[in-house]
Amino acid sequence: MENAKTSKTPMSTSTKLDKDEQGKHVDQKLYRSMIGSLLYLTASRPDILFSVCLCARFQSNHKESHLFAVKRIFKYLAYTPTLGLWYSRDSSFDLHSYSDANFGGYKVDRKSTSGSCQYLGSMLVSWFSKKQNSVALSTTEAEYIAVGSFCAQILWQKQQLVDYGICVKDVSIKCDNTSSICLAKNPVHHSRTKHIDIRYHFLREHVECGDIVLEYIPTEKQVADIFTKPLDENSFSKFRRELCLCELE
């Protein structure tokens, strides 16, 4: 692919990967080796995390359409060979994060995808994109599950900072769904949401204790959107800059 045409985004907004049962089979070793290399790269390139994780779901039964999607990621990497994370020595140690979910976005089983990223000041220190374990029945449920899962990681990070002598009290999680924020603050709503797994309700407890502060943020400013679905070129470039990814050469 050295002479292949480059791409400005790792995945097209029109891409909807499914099992493609009628598609043409491709070499298993080739596909898995490509996915393995890309998964290794996501440790320093969060901009490709969603695309790589989506393609990785088809390692057991991949087709030509899946291989085309993987090749597009390589075309994007060829377009941005010097891109890397920037950590400033002048950054503060304020802990804040973004959480988002793409309701029913996975075409195969209609499970939602959770995406989150965590900052220490202006430095990106943690990020993930993961398909939820159960099918959400609403956007509110999908968002609430995403924030609840990320809450545990925030609490762990706070404890890690304590070991370094840094005490962080109110950690903000920015979410673009007002209903999930109200759900975490108002126990009256819980009678209508019993279908949500009980283990996610510990989020409300930590909100009441003041460990976590949920803040609303408009969708167009939701950085975690880059970890939940394919984006157009303008949105992708904007959120990529917000992740502190820049040209290092």
Mean pLDDT (whole number) for 5-22: 90
End-to-end CA distance of the chain: 23
Determine the Cα–Cα distance for residues 230 and 239; give it in Å rounded to an integer: 12
Contact 201, 22 (CB under 8 A): no
Domains and CATH numbers, the chain: 1-81 (no CATH), 95-247 (3.30.420.10)
Q: Could you read off the pLDDT of 106-119 as tens digits, one per residue? A: 888 899 999 999 99
Mean predicted lDDT score pLDDT of the chain: 88
Q: Could you read off the pLDDT of 94-103 as tens digits, one per residue? A: 888 999 999 9
Residue 233 pLDDT grade (very low, low, confident, very high; cuts 50, 70, 90): very high
